Amino acid sequence: MSYVADSSASDGEFNRDTDYITTRITADGRDGYPVEAGRYRLVVARACPWANRTIIVRRLLGLEDALSIGFCGPTHDERSWTFDLDPDAVDPVLGIHYLRDAYDKRVPDYPKGVTVPAIVEVETGQVVTNDFAQITLDFSTEWSAHHREGAPQLYPEPLRDEIDEVAQRIYTEVNNGVYRCGFAGSQRAYERAYDRLFTALDWLEDRLADQRYLVGDTITEADVRLFTTLARFDPVYHGHFKCNRSKLSEMPALWAYARDLFQTPGFGDTTDFVQIKQHYYIVHSDINPTGVVPKGPDLSNWLSPHGREALGGRPFGDGTAPGPTREGERVPEAHSAG
């Protein structure tokens, strides 16, 4: 997510800039960056849905020892995400306040949006990649030597075509669809985006009515990609982005599915509702010029029984749940549901 990587077309339709730094970190190092424990730092912001995916996948696969993590604060200015949560507002490993510094080291006067997630090479201080869609796939496929024992198969080879197909529709129509509503520059563009979004949500509601997960009988990359948007739907997108045909809590299958994932280790314990609301309502001053952050909604219902076990499925397949969240990486209790 970025402060300038988004723009609106002349007809008022929101268009996302998808020109990322696509260098990959791979097992064979073919792009010059081999997978190596301790060499890189994953920089995220809990507020950002695209970054939240990487936090979830890193935790599910058990990459904590191989790949350190740095957390930016929930807000930023026109220049960059910043490490406001750290002592003296400086990342303790990279030694920088502005994430832009790591982008400028890779590309002097980096001309595009400073986005999270980003993976930074610690020794050089340079961003290696900010290609969020590829990062999590590579965690599953290229970083396998560093997976924990019992790590789930989030991108199993026999299901990759279906996962890719479902994930692509989720990206265009849901993940980006809420932004297309929120940043529409005309009534016509907004209504068109609104209709596209809820057509896709209705499709997902039908798909999840009789199957526990999106693809196969275990959690996959597709579920991770949908979850981070669903978690933000009622607290932010329903009101702030005018996605208000219905709340998530009024879509029975999707709501039960979202609670099922939220209550699964790796999902709810990486979701910070306070930072999520702070980011959208403070940073998007063109939409919310007062900067007032809403007090609601009540989040305790995220912990209510979901009943999805009756559909079968095994969350982690032949693997196991991740252990407790590491010290220093935990969401404050007051920032979660309950």
Confidence class of residue 16 from pLDDT cuts 50, 70 and 90? confident
Looking at the annotation, which residues are catalytic? 48, 179
Tell me how far the alpha carbon of residue 123 is from its chain's centroid.
Answer: 26
Reported as a pLDDT band with limits 50, 70 and 90, residue 1 is low
Cα-Cα-Cα-Cα dihedral of 241, 246, 252, 258, to 10°? 10
Q: Is it the case that residue 8 has pLDDT exceeding 70?
A: no
This prediction has a pTM of 0.96
What does the alpha-carbon distance between residue 278 and residue 294 come to, in Å, rounded to a whole number?
Answer: 9
pLDDT for 19 beyond 90: no
pLDDT tens digits, 31-57: 999 999 999 999 999 999 999 999 999
**pLDDT tens-digit profile of 52-94?**
999 999 999 999 999 999 999 999 988 899 999 999 999 999 9
Does pLDDT of 286 surpass 70?
yes
Q: Could you tell me the domains of the chain?
A: 6-146 (3.40.30.10), 157-316+330-335 (1.20.1050.10)
Q: What is the CA radius of gyration of the chain?
A: 19
Question: 143 a known binding residue?
Answer: no
Average pLDDT, the chain: 95
Band (217; pLDDT cuts 50, 70, 90) = very high
pLDDT in tens, 248-259: 999 999 999 999
pLDDT digits (tens, 9 = 90+) for 298-316: 999 999 999 999 999 999 9
Task: Report pLDDT for 10.
Answer: 53
Task: List pLDDT tens digits, range 100-135.
Answer: 999 999 999 999 999 999 999 999 999 999 999 999
